Each structure stands twice: as structure tokens, then as C-alpha cells.
């Protein structure tokens, strides 16, 4: 078998048209068969009752405990005392957080500010839809990490391009 025959045989499955097919809106029909259950409007994305609306997430962040000397728009503590960083949401690390339904959605909890808490992501995933877990159990599920002020500065610099201090930083830092 010659090299030309091998190449032809290898490329027989490829069909390259001489010109690309053209399609216009008037001649192309959208594919709709058997997809009705998957279609949703743009507004459904924001009204899904299982997810917290953006405005509730904003207010939920605001009600979390501030960290003295740090920008409260960037740093908070969850109810268990874990430090969390605003840019790290939905990831599994020790500074990551989720917006947690205090009363789980599956048990009738609503996606409202009163039922929202910022919680370290690891704790939230351990909690799942349980309501009977004690504070001690939740603390035990926390991903512990010790974060220095310098570490926080580096994270801010990486994520935001600058470092901002909270209004209560006192103006003088001794090292």
C-alpha cells in the first residue's frame, strides 16, 4: 500500500465543502423538538426560588460579621467565626463561602434575607439539608486556616489589584 493510498483512506471520513454553507434567519428554523422542558426565559434565571436573588446575597453579605481593619466589602466572618473572602464563592477552600439557607429549601425554607447566612463552603456542604447539627458539629466541619494580615493583603492584591483597609483600621500598624 502506498503512502498516497493510506492518506486517502485516512481522510475519507472528512468532507470539506468547497464553500461554507450559508444560513439566514429567514431560512433557518430553530430546533425545538423535544426541548420544551429545557427552555427557560432570561428572567427565570433570576426568579428561581431555590437560589437567592442578587439583592438578597448583597444584604446577606452585609449582615455577616465584619473583620476589624479589613474592607467589609471584601472580608467577613461566617456565624462560626471562619474568615471568608468575597471573591471566593462556591469553591471548597477555607476562605470560600456559600449563601446558605438556614432552614433548607428542601424543608420549606425560602430564599429570603431572613433565611440567608454566609457560611464557609465546606461547612455548608457538610450541613446539607440537615437542621439538627449543633454549632460544635458545624465548627468541627470547618476548614481551618490561619490567615495573616499579609496573606489577606496578597489575596486582595491578586483579586482586586489593590489593598483596601476598613474604616476602623486605626491608622497605625505595628509590625
What does the pLDDT look like over 120-168, one tens digit per residue? 999 999 999 999 999 999 999 999 999 999 999 999 999 999 999 987 6
Average confidence score pLDDT of the chain: 79
Strand partners of residue 89? 97
**pLDDT of residue 20 exceeding 80:** no
CA–CA distance, 96 with 42 (Å, rounded to integer): 28
Grouping H, G, I as helix, E, B as strand and the rest as coil, residue 37 is helix
User: Residue 71's pLDDT is what?
Assistant: 98
pLDDT at 26 over 50: no
Indicate the pLDDT class of residue 50, thresholds 50, 70 and 90.
Answer: confident
Domain residue spans in the chain? 49-160
Alpha-helix residue ranges (DSSP H) falling in the chain:
3-10, 44-47, 54-63, 121-127, 135-141, 149-160
Question: From the DSSP assignment, how many helices (H) and strands (E) are in the chain?
Answer: 6, 5
Amino acid at each position: 500500500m502506498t503512502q498516497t493510498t493510506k492518506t486517502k483512506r485516512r481522510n475519507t471520513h472528512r468532507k470539506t465543502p468547497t464553500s461554507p454553507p450559508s444560513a439566514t434567519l429567514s431560512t433557518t428554523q430553530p430546533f425545538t423538538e423535544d426541548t420544551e422542558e429545557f427552555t427557560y426565559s432570561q428572567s427565570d434565571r433570576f426568579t428561581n426560588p431555590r437560589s437567592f436573588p442578587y439583592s438578597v446575597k448583597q444584604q446577606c453579605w452585609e449582615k455577616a460579621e465584619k473583620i476589624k481593619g479589613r474592607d467589609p466589602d471584601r472580608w467577613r466572618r461566617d456565624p462560626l467565626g471562619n474568615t471568608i473572602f468575597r471573591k471566593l464563592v462556591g469553591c471548597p477552600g477555607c476562605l470560600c463561602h456559600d449563601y446558605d439557607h438556614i432552614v433548607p429549601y428542601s424543608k420549606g425554607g425560602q430564599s429570603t434575607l431572613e433565611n440567608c447566612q454566609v457560611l464557609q463552603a465546606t461547612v455548608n456542604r457538610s450541613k446539607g439539608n440537615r437542621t439538627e447539627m449543633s454549632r460544635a458539629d458545624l465548627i468541627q466541619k470547618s476548614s481551618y486556616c490561619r490567615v495573616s494580615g499579609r496573606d489577606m493583603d496578597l489575596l486582595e492584591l491578586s483579586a482586586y489589584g489593590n489593598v483596601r483597609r476598613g474604616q476602623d483600621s486605626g491608622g497605625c500598624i505595628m509590625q
